[in-house]
Structure 1
Amino acid sequence: MNFADITKILSFKKSRKAITPIIAIILLLMMTVAAAGAAFFWLTRIQGQLQGGTESYQGRVFEGMASDIVIVDADYSTSSENLTIYFHNIGNRRIPINKESISSSALTTTWILRDADSIVVCATDWSGSPTTQATCSSGCGTSNSVYIEVGQMKAVTLTTAGTTCDISSQGSGKEFNFVVDFSGKTTSGGSFIS
């Protein structure tokens, strides 16, 4: 290779156009802005999903707090085999005792009765239908949409004689526990001695 060839090669390399530093900086800035924008939209989507889950959870918690029934007392009469439960609505919305609409075919309030050993005696609604279920003989009303209003105390009497909830054969002086579910709006529990 001679000197002329070497100068041609060197001049060829010099004539090639390269990216100037200003264009390189502009390209880097554009890529950085694009990456930051993509990260921003990704993070806001994740934050929105997390916030939506939190708001949903808070809604359920506040609804549960708003729906609160306490059982003030529960008395069992061995002679009539009736259980009278005294409810007090301390929440801030009314709670249904029976079916909430005409289209509903049965009382929606249900209960689970357990003996002192936590063995389930019965788990029924209060409709009395079929006849093997406890019957709400007073306090539930005969029409649809009977409620325990905010701040109201209400006595509900259940007839247990001849049903799966009949505890007369277990003798007197026995402790029983129960949980009442008011149409899925709230629950409350208590105990009584037969």
Structure 2
Amino acid sequence: GAARPAMVLPPIGDIGGGAALPVGPPPPELQPRFRVIRACLITLTSSLLVKLLSFWVLLPSALADQVLSSLTSIFLTIIGIFLLKDDALFAPAYTCMVRTFCVSCADQCPGGVTCLCTWFFCCTITAFFNLLPFRDSDIFVIVTFVKILVDPSAQPDLKWWPQVRSVQWYIGCIVFTLSSILALLAQVMGAYQGYKGVQQHSVMGAMEDIERLDGPG
């Protein structure tokens, strides 16, 4: 029989219908959402750094495990930097990445608004699994540390570096817990804003198509 035509997948910027997402900074209609996404990325990045630092103070022997469990957040941060490459705050980080360990990524993904769908998708997946009560998920870790703060004997096998119930121990646990909560909230809000941004651009693209079909006058 005749060979079936090969399946051609649409570019990531075309997902959701309407016009393809433009290359470069967001159009004026999407800038309010990008400001919220910017705040989410700042929160996520800051929380990630604080989480790792506070965990290193509390449990230095298990820091490698914490870094591994944070890889999805690190990956999400990289996507966010590509998305906000035209932002004055993240532009230097983007330039540094595409000149070092992300050289090949620059050819495959131009960054900017074209990464909006990727940001939405990855934020959604990451937030979804971090909200499930599985071991090492954000919600599991948050609940565990709240229990530890209430009753340190709940996890007797943990090898704390500071003395349990000391001021340093309490500060470290509280900071780690709060940063974990903020990171999770940033993922959820980032996913929502990404979804609404893609949806809004799809509507804009559909309206432009209608205007072109109607013609002048």
TM over 0.5: no
Give the alignment's TM-score, normalised by structure 1.
0.23
Q: Which has the higher helix share?
A: 2
Give the alignment's TM-score, normalised by structure 2.
0.21
